[in-house]
Amino acid sequence: MMRWLPENISTFGGEIDGLFYFIYYLTAGVFVLVTALMVLFLFLYRHREGRRAVYTHGSTPLEITWTVIPTIILVVLSLVSVSTWAKVKIDAPPSEFEVRVTGKQFNWEIVYPGPDGRFDTPDDFKIENELHVPVNKVVYVHLTSNDVIHSFFVPNLRLKQDALPGRNIRVWFEATKTGKYELPCAELCGFGHSGMLGWLYVDGPEAYSAWSAQFQR
Amino acid sequence: MSDSGAIAHDAHALHGELGFWRTYVFSTDHKMIGRQFLFLGLFMLVIGGSLAMLMRWELAWPETAVPGMGWVAEPTMYEGIIPPQTYNMLFTMHATIMIFFVVMPIMVGCFGNFLIPLMIGARDMAFPVLNMLSFWVGLLAGAIMLSSFFVPGGAAASGWTAYAPLSAKAVFTGVGLGQDLWILSLMILGISSLMGSINYITTVINMRTPGMTLFRMPLVIWSLFITAILLLLALPVLTAALAMLLFDRMLGTSFFLPAGGGNPLLWQHLFWYFGHPEVYILVLPAMGVTSEVLAVFSRKPIFGYRAMAFSMIAIAFLSWIVWGHHMFQSGMNPLLGTAFMMTTMVIAVPSAIKTFNWLGTLWGGSIRFTTPMLFGLGFVSAFVIGGLSGIFMASTPVDIFIHDTYYIVAHFHYVVAGIIFALFAAVYYWFPKMFGRMMNETWGKVHFLFTYVFFNLAFFPMHFLGVGGHMRRIYNPLQYEFLKPLQDWNVFITVSAFILAASQIVFVVNFFYCLFAGKKVGTNPWQANTLEWSAPSPPPHGNFAATPIVYRGAYEYSVPGVREDYLPQDRQLPTGSAPTSGH
């Protein structure tokens, strides 16, 4: 099942995948155990003439066992998830590159701060559905929407965040591999939702400068 | 415990004298109302299932004409080709119909009505007229929902979750009246459910026959009782949210519209505050049914009766504090996400307890593989997968990736569509009591085999799509480069879903044939303990010839010292001969 996971290109994606695999092996183990017991019981205790079922109402030690063990496993799972969640969605390293992304039916509108690195200045430039970022830099995306809720999803970054009208939500990532990756909308946003698709270009330093130069007057 | 059953008996003393209309149409008999809910739900199941088939065609072979659908007028379809707008309508209405008009009417409406009075030894519901109204108001809601397909702009297309602002202004979806009717229908259905839940709660509390203590009640009655409490508390929240949404749409308010100072996340909080208890409203009765059939056909007391009852109570409490796990990526404060992850992990524990107790029930049994038993086992099997796959998205970091993908679709179909196994278990098991005839066992097993195999072939590969990042609610996966390698799975799923749907014809034929020509049965064809099997099949108006007295719990099977391997709750044993307590 896990072989369908897209390639990870973000600094935090490895941790997310690690948790994903951890839960996969954990649940697969429980699934095999429960299914094997069920099949075994169905076979061993099928109806046969002359044998009566065991008359029992249960077992308190067993109830305690199968209450306590899952509780411990699930609490541990929560605790190991906390730090990765905080890393992706709460604590961000200092920004090295910033961009504004606005969802609107049915495009991503992307505003770059231009050479001065500041928004709302004359050298800002705006382009639709093409998000160019430098590789190995901490990127802040200031996410909002013009109309309905959209969701900024880059499978290769392991990043998803809804874009809300009336709200400005900061997300961050650091891409570690150059290339061109898909940036679909993941939240139903109307009849054009399917096909609302941008592209993330992770550029090397020269490639990024060359690309951004064409927007400078 | 009370003897109000006897009082109810006097109130219904005129049974048997009613004409056609009062017997079959405007009936106040809980059993007829239960059957009415069953037929409503089965009819809607055909519609909801058909919508799913159209979606599956589109996902497997995008933007090609659906065979045989060329007659559908534009703009719904273009010579059989489904446009995106119609696709959005399909999944919105598929989910709405399946949740509100199939699972709720059948599991809660039908079996709640049919079973509660019979299994607690009452002669009817506490409020029979309210009960009748509950059905007719529910039917009105269903009619309004179906009528929305035929209005200009079509039916609702903003998902069954109707996230604002998409749902809050017609301009965003192009759907006007269809969305308004959707809101109106669910508000009316809420009234129907409230009437039902008040009735169920009152009946369970006040009308148990002498000896039927709370902890002698069958687990299916516990499940329906808890479900009714959840309904009573959850539905007003949905109704309030729907009213605000309707005001935003029709009166120009801005509860959910940021341009006017509103907040889109308010809708999500209200919706999921209702929506997560709703999931348990759907699944608790299925758990109850499963507990009944597993004990009966293992010929064994249910393992850990009190643990089973208390785990349902725990689920009922915890279901109110987990709603935020639907909103991890919504823009809700991520610190809240951490808190909701903890509560969500905790609610998995009572579900695990239930599963282990079902296994414990099988252990040491003398298992009869009847059709209801097979479907009960099918529910457990699906619930194990659905429960375990839920742990992935409970972990907030993993949810970042799988949220809004087919992984979620796979998960909730294993839980909610998995209820279909319990639903069929219940229909096959109680059919003899409802209609006085057996369904054909051989064809029942054929039905099970096809349903089980193709259910798994249809829904399991959706996990693969989700791991691949395949978003939900997209109309054409081939628009995305990264999804093209997964397309073969989409075709595989679609073919499996078609066979799954086609194999339900076996059920429909078996059901209707046996309704009229099935083998007639006596009062207790399954040799079960619960009180409904002491009443004639089908029970007359008033249910019991004499008020039953309960001497023991519901699961006294294979009791040592008793010749048969079952011991009905109302059978008095000579003193000192065998245990009379149970629970």
Query: By mean pLDDT, which of B11-15, B244-248, B291-295, B346-350 is the weakest?
Result: B11-15
Q: Which residues of B touch A35 (CB under 8 A)?
A: 381, 384
Distance CA B469, CA A14 (A): 16
pLDDT at B9: 46
Packing angle, helices B334-362 and A60-85, rounded to 10: 150
Distance CA A36, CA B175 (A): 50
Over 70: is that where the pLDDT of B580 sits?
Answer: no
Express each pLDDT in A128-162 by its tens digit. Answer: 999 999 999 999 999 999 999 999 999 999 999 99
pLDDT at B579: 52
Q: Taking the domain B4-534, which CATH number applies?
A: 1.20.210.10
Contact yes or no for B193/B235 (Cβ under 8 A): yes
Q: What is the DSSP letter of A205?
A: H
> Are residues A184 and B397, on separate chains, in Cβ contact within 8 Å?
no
Contact yes or no for A92/A134 (Cβ under 8 A): no
Over 80: is that where the pLDDT of B488 sits?
Answer: yes
Mean pLDDT (whole number) for B169-187:
96
Contact yes or no for B151/B182 (Cβ under 8 A): no
Q: Taking the domain A97-213, which CATH number applies?
A: 2.60.40.420
pLDDT at B14: 46
Over 70: is that where the pLDDT of B325 sits?
Answer: yes
Apex B105 CA angle, B104 and B109, nearest 5:
100
pLDDT at B5: 44
Contact yes or no for B317/B350 (Cβ under 8 A): no
Express each pLDDT in B415-452 by its tens digit. Answer: 999 999 999 999 999 999 999 999 999 999 999 999 99
Distance CA A198, CA B2 (A): 67
Over 90: is that where the pLDDT of B21 sits?
Answer: no
pLDDT at B3: 43
Q: Which residues of A touch B330 (CB under 8 A)?
A: 149, 162, 164
Which whole-number Å values give the CA distances from A31 to A24, A28, A35, A46, B455, in the listed order?
A: 10, 5, 6, 22, 18
Express each pLDDT in B507-564 by its tens digit. Answer: 999 999 999 999 999 999 999 999 999 999 999 999 999 999 999 999 999 999 999 9
Query: By mean pLDDT, which of A42-56, A163-177, B15-29, B82-96 is the weakest?
Result: B15-29
pLDDT at B16: 54
pLDDT at B472: 97
Residue of A nearest to B358 (CA): A38
Q: How far is B536 from chain A (nearest CA, A)?
A: 28
Mean pLDDT (whole number) for A85-114:
96
Token reading at A158: 């392991």
Nearest CA-CA partner of A165 in B175, B163, B165, B254: B165
User: Which of B263, B294, B401, B482 is the best substitution to test chain A (most A C-beta atoms within 10 A)?
Assistant: B401
Alpha-carbon torsion (B504, B507, B511, B517), positive or negative: positive
Where, residue-wise, is CATH 1.10.287.90 in chain A? 2-90
What is the greatest pairwise CA distance in chain B? 77
Mean pLDDT (whole number) for B216-240:
97
Q: What value does the mean pLDDT of chain B take?
A: 95
Residue window 59-88, chain A: list those with CB within 8 Å of chain B: 59, 62-63, 66-67, 70-71, 74-75, 77-78, 81-82, 84-86, 88
pLDDT at B576: 61
Over 80: is that where the pLDDT of A97 sits?
Answer: yes
Express each pLDDT in A199-213 by its tens digit. Answer: 999 999 999 999 988
Over 80: is that where the pLDDT of B578 sits?
Answer: no
Top CATH class of A2-90 equals: mainly alpha
Mean pLDDT (whole number) for B315-324:
96
Q: What is the DSSP letter of B3?
A: S
Where, residue-wise, is CATH 2.60.40.420 in chain A? 97-213
Over 50: is that where the pLDDT of B504 sits?
Answer: yes
Express each pLDDT in B273-318 by its tens digit. Answer: 999 999 999 999 999 999 999 999 999 999 999 999 999 999 999 9
Distance CA A101, CA B84 (A): 25
B353, B398, B473 member nearest A193 (Cβ): B473
Q: Chains A, B: CB contacts under 8 A, how many?
A: 280
Mean pLDDT (whole number) for A105-110:
97
pLDDT at B577: 58
pLDDT at A115: 87
Distance CA B433, CA A74 (A): 42
pLDDT at B562: 93
pLDDT band at B13 (very low <50, low <70, confident <90, very high): very low
Domains in chain B: boundaries: 4-534
